Amino acid sequence: MKIAILGLLAILAFLGGAVGGEMLRKGAAHENSGGQTAPAEAEEAAAVSDDHAQTEGHGGDAANGQQGAAGKDWFRFPNQFFVPVMRNGATNAVMVLSLTIEMSSDAAPLIARQEHRLRDALLNALMIEANTGGFDGNFTSEASLSRLRRSLLVAARKASGPGVTSVLIEDIARQDQ
């Protein structure tokens, strides 16, 4: 009986991954074909970051993302951030985040060249957040997300300089284990 349940769980996990992959592939094909989802997502991410980003208009393509009227540019990390949440020496959850860096357009080439250093600094800040209980309880409350954005912004500016104006949290999820 135990073996049958494990086999069934493996099949369900495989099917779930296949369906999820197909959904992501269709979404990427829609974005690449000129669909309206990419500018809308960039607009939503900017609106969440702070009041200043909510008032800016977005338009036009730039090398690393969207460019706004005020000379803003965005760098989207190609891979998600995976942060283990540990308690008593055991991993009890994993946080999955998609982050984008908002910067002045003249800082874009520098930020793109420093992607690995920037990713390391942001991951370090996320680990500190996880180890201090920042992802416990209601981690999606405005107070928690504001604190997280501030710590990520400080880490990003330390790694890449003052050209970074904001860190946008595009996706955040907690996978309990």
The 10s digit of each residue's pLDDT in 33-58 is 444 444 434 433 343 344 333 333 33
What percentage of the chain carries pLDDT values higher than 70?
73
Q: How confident is the model at residue 5 (pLDDT cuts 50, 70, 90)?
A: confident
CATH value at residue 69: 3.30.479.30
User: Does residue 11 form part of some domain?
Assistant: no
Categorize the per-residue pLDDT at 64 as very low, low, confident or very high, splitting at 50, 70 and 90: very low
The residue among 120 and 8 whose pLDDT is bigger is 120
Alpha helices in 33-76 (DSSP H): 37-49, 51-55
In the chain, the number of structural domains is 1
Read off the amino acid at residue 80: Q
Does some domain include residue 92?
Answer: yes
Residue 155 maps to a domain? yes
Residue span of the structural domain in which 122 resides:
59-176
Rounded Cα–Cα distance for residues 123 and 100 (Å): 13
Instruction: Assess if residue 49 is contained within a domain.
Output: no
CA distance 156 to 101: 8
pLDDT at 119: 95
**94 is a domain residue:** yes
Identify whether 33 is part of a domain: no
Longest CA–CA separation in the chain, Å: 63
Mean pLDDT of 104-111: 88
How far apart, in Å, are the Cα atoms of 113 and each of 81, 90, 132, 160? 19, 36, 31, 10
Interval 84-107 mean pLDDT? 91
pLDDT band with cut points at 50, 70 and 90 for residue 28: low
